A and B are shown apart, each in its own frame.
Chain A
Amino acid sequence: MAKVRIPTPLRKFTDGKEEVIAAGASVRAVIDELERMHPGIKTKICDDSGAVRKFINLFANEEDVRFLQAMDTPLTDKDELSIVPAIAGG
């Protein structure tokens, strides 16, 4: 389980919620649970192969998951997963 920080462009899937608690022992499991709770959100985060889209980054407790164990990075209920996309507006 982890607290997931939802970025502005994806809050339409979470009823406007900035933070969501999702069950799962890894980044992959938490993203899957996020999809179960909020259908449609996973395809905005991951591509068809399940990899994180190239304009999005995931940080576990402010550590880039690419330098941890990527989607297999373990998470506990004390952890926080941030979804950070490239923001286009200006």
Chain B
Amino acid sequence: MTRACIIGAGGLGGPIALALAAAGWRLRVVDPDRVELSNLQRQIQFATADIGQPKAAALAALVRARHPGASIEALDTRFEASTADAITAGVDVVLDGTDDPATKFAVGDHAVARGLPCVIAGVLRYGGTVFAGAPDAACYRCLFEDPPGADQAPSCADAGVLGAACAVIGGLAARAALGLALDQRGAGTITVVEDLRRGCRPRTIPFDPRPGCACGAARVHRTASTR
């Protein structure tokens, strides 16, 4: 049985957890925050009664209610250097659905250091992206070398997000994790959904390891004809 940890139990973590639990995965969901009224528009796994509850525990309770046999653990913890090893202990795949650029890069770096396949998803307004990486394939820093500054990457709270966009991007993130667990399918790609108002047209773009990247993955250039 595949084991995964999901960093962030919000707009993306919810649909990711529901999809992977339904696929029979053993899950660990991690989030230090509590449910707020303003979350409910996009974090549809939560109800008004959950306000004030820890997000990870509330999400785990919903998953157990839908899938009584599900194995899901909730950690009311922030992903950081001092907690990363405990959070990822024993897992086969790491997924990030947080709303913090620094955490996304930290999750990507930790996955490289521990040799774990990794999915990093982001959503904003009407679209988003899903990165998929694995050992010996390109890593998150092969694609983006450094995190954006606070004024360079608006959050959902700042710029807004369509609730349905979270479900679409979360579903694509779960699909990416299933591919990585199967045979590292999709490793070294980013899937882009640009604007759901104009239809759901995900584009998956392969990319190569960046020369000099700390991950050390070897470049095997994939031309359009070999994809």
Contact = CB atoms under 8 A, between A and B. Distances in A.
Interface of A: 5, 7-9, 18, 44, 53-57, 59, 61-64, 66-67, 82, 84-90
B54 interface: no
Interface residues of B, number: 48
Nearest to B158: A89
Nearest to B127: A8
Contacts of A63: 223-224
Contacts of B198: 18
Contacts of B194: 5, 7-8, 18
A75 to B, nearest CB: 16
B216 interface: no
13 contacts: A8-B124, A8-B195, A9-B154, A53-B152, A57-B144, A62-B206, A62-B224, A67-B208, A67-B221, A84-B190, A86-B153, A89-B122, A89-B154
- Counting chain B CB atoms within 10 Å of each CB, the highest count among A63, A66, A82, A88 belongs to A88
A90 B122 contact: yes
A9 B224 CA distance: 28
A8 B205 CA distance: 17
A52 to B, nearest CB: 10
Interface of B: 8, 10-13, 96-101, 104, 121-129, 143-148, 152-156, 159, 161, 190, 192, 194-195, 198, 203, 205-208, 210, 221, 223-224
Contact of A89 (B11, B207, B221): B11
Nearest to B166: A90
Contacts of B192: 82, 84
Given A84-B129, A89-B159, A90-B10, A54 B121 contact: no
